[in-house]
Amino acid sequence: MPNSKRSPSDCGFPAGTLSVGEVAKRSGVAVSTLHFYETKGLIRSLRTEGNQRRYPRGVLRRVAVIKVAQRTGIPLASIQTALARLPDGRAPTADDWAELSRAWRAELDERILRLAQLRDQLDDCIGCGCLSLKTCPLRNPQDVLSGQGAGPRLLEPEAG
C-alpha cells in the first residue's frame, strides 16, 4: 500500500476533503444516515484507494439543506429530485440555494394553509360538538382540500 502517512480528511485528495466520520460530526447526522443518503442519491462521494469515502466540503451545505427541507415535511425523494437540478460541475451559488428555498417555501405555505383550514373547522366544531353530528364539515376531507364554502357532501349518511 503506497499511501503511508496521511491525515483522515486528506489522504491524497484535494485539500479540505472530509471523511464520513468528519461529515457526521460536523453535520450532526449519523454515519449510517450519510451512507443511506448516498444510496438515495442525495449526496455523492469520491473514494480513496482503500475504498473509503471522501466528501468535498460542499457536502455540509447539502446535508444542512436536506435537513431543513425535511423539517418542512418534504420527503427525501422530492429533496433528491430538487437537489438533482442543481448545477453539476460548479458548486451551487447562493442564488441556486435561494431558488430551492423559494420552491420549498411554497410547499410549506401550502401545508400551513391546509392545517390552518383544518384548525378553523375544528374550532367551529368545538363549541357545538358537531364532530359527532352528521353535518360536520370535518367529516368530509374533500371540503377541506378544495374550498371551504363548498356544500357538505357526507361520507356517511349515519342513521339513514
Binding residues for a copy of itself, rule: CB under 8 A, are: 26-28, 57, 60-61, 64-65, 67-68, 71-73, 92-95, 97-98, 100-102, 104-105, 108-109, 111-112, 115-116, 118-119, 122-123, 125-133, 136, 138-139, 141, 144, 155-159
What one-character-per-residue DSSP string does 23-81 give?
Answer: HHHHH---HHHHHHHHHTTSS--EE-TTS-EEB-THHHHHHHHHHHHHHTT--HHHHHH
Q: What is the DSSP letter of 103?
A: H
String marking each residue 90-129 x if it binds DNA according to CB under 7 A: ----------------------------------------
Shortest CB 37 distance to DNA, Å: 7
The site partner of 3 among DNA, a copy of itself, none (C-beta below 5 to 8 Å per kind) is DNA
Contact 104, 72 (CB under 8 A): yes
- Grid-cell match 431543513, residue found: 68
Q: Name which of 18 and 136 has its Cβ closer to DNA.
A: 18
Q: How far is the CB of 154 from a copy of itself (least distance, A)?
A: 9
Give the H or E element holding residue 93: none
Q: Burial, 152: exposed, middle or buried (Cβ in 10 Å; 0-12, 13-18, 19+)?
A: middle
Nearer to a copy of itself, 4 or 160 (CB): 160
Nearest-angstrom CA–CA distance, 42 and 34: 9
Q: Per-residue x/- mask for DNA, residues 8 to 47, rule CB under 7 A?
A: x--x-------xxxx-x----xxxxx-xx--------x--
